[in-house]
Amino acid sequence: MKAIAIVCLLSIAFYIGCGSTTSSRSYYPYSEAEYRTRQVLAGAVLIAGVIFVVWVIDGASKLNSAEMESWKGHHVSELIRSVGPPQRIVSDAAGGKIYIWRSEVKIPLAKEKTERRGTATVIGDTIFYKEKTKTTPALNIEYDKVRMFWVNSQGIIYHWKWKGL
């Protein structure tokens, strides 16, 4: 949860840092007041979105922990019937085994976007057209989702750990 909070704060700081520069101001066809108003509104939406995401992730992590805890005391065969076979099984130091399920998660947030803007200049009978292209790359969240269950020699789950929602 601390990592999420740090990422949120860095995102907000990055936005504020980028928004405070006026070097690209001429790129927008708005008045200065309208430009600043749009900046403030975009910042407010960003902050509200970050708060919402943190709230959702916090709730999801609590649900995930409750689900993992519910498997304690069950036989590992029940878990395998429910979620499928593990990717790995390793021995622990206590004579039992650790069953590991791992998957890669990719959440698309935004597609690649290309904006084109142009200006035309007339000199005599000739029109000169200059186009600016701005490409914003796709934005994805990618992480590993890992579920580990410690199982004693009788096949009973006694401990668990997870990483990634």
Locate the DSSP E strands across the chain.
Answer: 88-91, 97-110, 113-123, 126-136, 139-151, 157-163
pLDDT band at 148 (very low <50, low <70, confident <90, very high): very high
Give the range among 46-50, 70-74, 103-107, 109-113 with minimum mean pLDDT.
46-50
Domain regions of the chain by residue span = 1-70, 72-165
List, for residues 60-70, the tens digit of each pLDDT value: 555 677 888 88
Contact status, residue 60 vs residue 164, Cβ threshold 8 Å: no
- Confirm whether pTM is higher than 0.85: no
